[in-house]
Amino acid sequence: MNPLVVLGLGWTVLAGGFSAVALGRLLRRRRPVEPTRVPVLLLRPVDEPTARELENLSRPIDYAGPLEHVVLSPREPRLPEGVRWLRSDPSTPNRKVGHVLFALETLPREGRVVLVVDADVAVTGALVEGLASPVAAGAALSTAVPTPVGEAGLADRAVAGLLRRTHHSFRALHVMSAGAKSVCGKALGLSERAMEELAGLADHIGEDLELSKRLHARGLDVELCEVPAVVPLASGTWSAALARFTRWMQVLESHRPGLYPTVPLLFTPTWPLLVLGALMGSLWLAMAVGGLLCVRTLLSWRLTVLSTPLPLGEGRGEGIGPPVHHVALDWLLGEALLLSAFLHSLVHPPRVTWRGRTYALHTGGRMSPVWTELSGGRG
């Protein structure tokens, strides 16, 4: 048998087994969200909010308990009554962490659970409750799955397919994490210990990855919120999506270099194996790749069910977003996007442009500003 066919068969079995285990774990019964009315301090760090983000910040939040909603930004945006603005213009490399640390130093938080949610997330009462409940019960950190909705073009479908219907969904990543849990910083609930650790991460670009890693090293729990963090999508381009996930791949390589090679091996094997199967003309390899397609499509549908917002008042996402159509193969678009980003990261210099600024990446996810003549230097 051709060595490439043997290699392809082994790769297919490994990737298929990985998907089958993830599917089995995702089929387990989920724990219901424990009702809570604990007082909540909701922080929304943002530098220059877009029109969509302003819409998200203005959404009413029907949380049953006491809630203070605070937007942190250098300039005061248009906000409705009941949403507070706190001027914050940090000098830290990671401006999001800088915003949050300033708020924690400035605002009273005794007796309140602190939530940090990005401005591109449409926050609901269910999400607040889902994030606050585990922290109130003793978890060190809670996190929600970023769930893009409203996808229109091909690039949007690829982004939604990647984050909702592939192994790169943070729900799938959570059930398959062997050590420190995969955490997305778009929506977090912070315990006192998490806030203490966050203070040392102002120079990290992947503060969520590093925070999870440090908490895990101390034997502390990270809980996944069952309510998704719904992210309404604005129309995007393939180049913008590629740049975004190339940055994610660079951050992964910097923070967890041991996991970086698993991206093509386990997370994006389908397209290379389809090409290899077509070139080799092997019936055995074709059958194996067909089996991989089947199990990954089943995984995609399970993740779609878990991430689809329910009708108003039924819990997950509070009815945000249209019904999901044509998703059977969108996971293939997502894998194509992630594979492209991985390949691009291989030849990309170790620097990223993030929140309008350029940084050099260092070991452990640390970053330092790159000062250029065009930016006027340090002055």
Read off the pLDDT of residues 265-303 as tens digits, 9 standing for 90 and up: 999 999 999 999 999 999 999 999 999 999 999 999 999
70 and 107 Cβ atoms separated by less than 8 Å = yes
Query: How many whole angstroms separate alpha carbon 305 and alpha carbon 27?
Result: 11
- The predicted structure's pLDDT at residue 4: 93
233 and 159 Cβ atoms separated by less than 8 Å = yes
User: What digits encode the pLDDT tens for the residues 22-79?
Assistant: 999 999 877 777 788 999 999 999 999 999 999 999 999 999 999 999 999 999 999 9
Instruction: Give the count of alpha carbons within 13 A of 243, CB side only.
Output: 11
- The predicted structure's pLDDT at residue 314: 43
- The predicted structure's pLDDT at residue 374: 42
- The predicted structure's pLDDT at residue 364: 81
> Residue 229: CB partners within 8 Å, gap ≥ 6?
117, 121, 127, 144, 145, 146, 147, 184, 186, 187
The residue to which tokens 């009941």 are assigned = 82
Residues in the chain predicted with pLDDT less than 50, given as ranges, are: 311-325, 373-379
Whether the model pTM is above 0.75: yes
- The predicted structure's pLDDT at residue 358: 84
> What's the chain's Rg over C-alpha atoms?
21
